[in-house]
A = this chain, B = another copy of it.
Amino acid sequence: MIAPALREEIARRYGTPAVVIDLDRVARNIARLQAACDAAGVANRPHIKTHKSPIIARMQIEAGARGITCQKLGEAEVMAASGIDDILVSYNLIGPHVVERLGRLLRESPARITVAADNPVTVAGLPDAAQAGGRTLDVVVECDTGRKRAGVETPGEAVALARDIASRPGLAFAGLMLYPPPGGVAAAQAFLDEAQAGLAEHGLSARIVSTGGTPNIPEIGQIRGTTEHRAGTVIFNDRMMIEAGVATLDDCALAVLARVVSRAGAERGILDAGSKTLTSDTGGGLDGHGLMPDHPGARIAGFAEEHGFLDLRACAERPPVGTLVEVVPNHVCVVVNMVNELVAVRDGAIVGTIPVAARGLIA
């Protein structure tokens, strides 16, 4: 992704390990996701947890996204402050702190705000936010159709929670939020159809049916009734997405530029990117802690906090101390979260840095 001369220039200007994004590839990934949504007749609501940057969110909106998805209230606040005007917080917001902040956001921002809930405790807290905000709060019911994460497990529970939402002052039942595992279209369809029938019996209907996931992009719209899709990782892609078959190395728009800082043994070395840069996320059990496209035999076998342990036994040309190498992370979302700023390049030249504005926040 980064030509040798550009590597030297980035390292000279910013140091290493630098998290570098290629804005040409970012634009291409944005366009591809938008095209997939357009082709399916489904609104695009990209998940900004991957980049946490209002600058990049703005690129997504300008390419046609209806709005964005956030995973934390703090992310939503940062995005709203930058002028993004349609935000889904796809998370149970619980407790007086976030309820008060949500109320303030509703009061002070003109943005359309939607939140998710999968249980009555969450729902019971939200009317205070709506009241403080002085406007109705849209709430979607998070539904689980196989992932066993958050989300009600049955259509009956979804209907009951929708009725709970609809009965509360200041809240509006807005729809259903799904996050099916890839290949889970049939199960999600069965859940959705039963839930919609149950809603109809009570005079309710789901204006929003939201699906999610980058691996699910090939399935966008296959669940009948889908109105919008939330994909995050596709903005940059990573080794997990290559493994999942939804990206090629050429689609990877982010790499960590790291330096070989030690070669104390003939068959091993140390990168200045350790677990505080690349993270210990295995990407669902991948071998090694990232791909090094220029050194196919090299393996990042382990970590200290600022040390990546290079196993060079299978490496034909072993990089000497000082070499700048590019690492495609296992999981890009957690790597972006480690740094205050990304270094952006375009057309083979440095553009500048992009703050990861919404990282490091408590709530």
Contact = CB atoms under 8 A, between A and B. Distances in A.
Interface in A118-133: 118-119, 121-122
Given A279-B275, A280-B281, A338-B360, A14 B97 contact: yes
Interface residues of A, number: 69
A18 interface: yes
Chain copies in complex: 2
B150 A262 contact: yes
A264 B143 CA distance: 9
A97 B307 contact: no
Nearest to A282: B280
Nearest to A18: B362
Given A11-B97, A122-B321, A363-B14, A306 B149 contact: no
Interface string A258-278: 010111110010101001100
A362 B16 contact: yes
Contact of A150 (B13, B49, B101, B307): B307
Given A322-B121, A362-B16, A259 B11 contact: no
Interface string A309-345: 1000000000011100000000001100111110100
Contacts of A80: none
B15 A270 contact: no
A234 to B, nearest CB: 15
A363 B280 contact: no
A270 B150 contact: yes
Interface stretch (A87-95, A181-189, A241-249): A87-95
Contact of A270 (B11, B149, B306, B307): B149
B338 A337 contact: yes
Contacts of A151: 262, 264
Contact of A16 (B264, B322, B363): B363
A17 interface: yes
Given A118-B264, A153-B264, A306-B49, A362 B339 contact: yes
A19 B363 CA distance: 11
A150 B261 contact: yes
Given A92-B261, A150-B270, A261-B122, A341 B362 contact: yes
17 contacts: A11-B96, A11-B97, A12-B95, A12-B97, A14-B363, A15-B101, A19-B362, A72-B306, A91-B272, A91-B306, A95-B322, A122-B321, A275-B334, A279-B279, A338-B338, A339-B360, A341-B362
Q: Which 10 A-B pairs have the closest CB atoms?
A: A15-B363, A340-B360, A150-B262, A15-B97, A280-B280, A92-B261, A121-B321, A280-B281, A71-B306, A121-B322
